[in-house]
Amino acid sequence: MELLKERIRKDGIIKEGNVLKVDSFLNHQMDIQFLEEIGKEFKRRFADAEITKILTIEASGIGIACIAARYFNVPVVFAKKNQTKNIAGEVYTAKVESFTHGRTYDIIVSQQFLNKEDKILIIDDFLANGQALIGLSKLVEAAGATLAGAGIVIEKGFQPGGKMIRDMGIRLESLAIIESMDEQTGCTFRQ
């Protein structure tokens, strides 16, 4: 998606440790008109797929998933990162090793909101080592639901997640794939 690549070139900040900050339009301040374009693009790429629900993970995935959901006309369910006492009934849970925080946490979703009739599209902001996506796919599997695919805004193609997910046979659509990034020279993208 050319518009996204241009925005990353213009506003993305490369930090040490292979972290790209996109806080001015995606991860902290959110450019809603831009997110509408991202939502439309996900819909265009998954136009042939029957989707009943979008699944994402708190916190950065939620805004993106909500705007995308307007185009799919489906609800959004977000996995919570910690066991909370006020979640009703039984939950599905999976462990995720965080790339940005370097620790492992549980993600949970109430069994009420994922069921075996669901055809799920997972949406997230970044794909790095693939742990968040694998955790979310485990929740889908635990519910007996169908995983229709995963839509990622920014895939860091030099990290192993993308290959791993594609090798698992999961349909993966990344709107921009970064081939390499460097604090001095910026990002190069996969065509």
Do 42 and 173 touch, CB atoms closer than 8 A? yes
- With CB under 6 A as the contact rule, which of the stretches 14-22, 73-81, 109-117, 166-174 interacts with ligand 5GP? 14-22
Our finding on whether 20 is near ligand 5GP (CB under 6 A) is: yes
Closer residue to ligand 5GP, CB minimum distance, 48 or 167: 167
Minimal distance in Å, beta carbon 92 to ligand 5GP?
18
Amino acid symbol at 48 = D
Residue 89 token pair: 């009934």
Among 1, 11, 27, 170, binds ligand 5GP (CB under 6 A): 27
Q: What is the largest CA-CA distance in the chain?
A: 51
Among 91, 121, 128, 175, binds ligand 5GP (CB under 6 A): 128
Our finding on whether 19 is near ligand 5GP (CB under 6 A) is: yes
Tell me which residue of 23, 34, 92 sits closest to 59, measured CA to CA.
23
DSSP classification of residue 111: G
Residues 6+ apart with CB under 8 A from 44: none
- With CB under 6 A as the contact rule, which of the stretches 15-23, 45-53, 85-93, 139-147 interacts with ligand 5GP? 15-23
Residue 70 token pair: 């307007």
Our finding on whether 157 is near ligand 5GP (CB under 6 A) is: no
- With CB under 6 A as the contact rule, which of the stretches 29-37, 72-80, 123-131, 140-148 interacts with ligand 5GP? 123-131
The stretches of the chain forming alpha helices (DSSP H) are: 2-11, 32-45, 60-72, 131-143, 161-167
Q: Which residues of this protein are in contact with ligand 5GP, per CB under 6 A?
A: 19-21, 27, 60, 99-100, 124-133, 156, 161
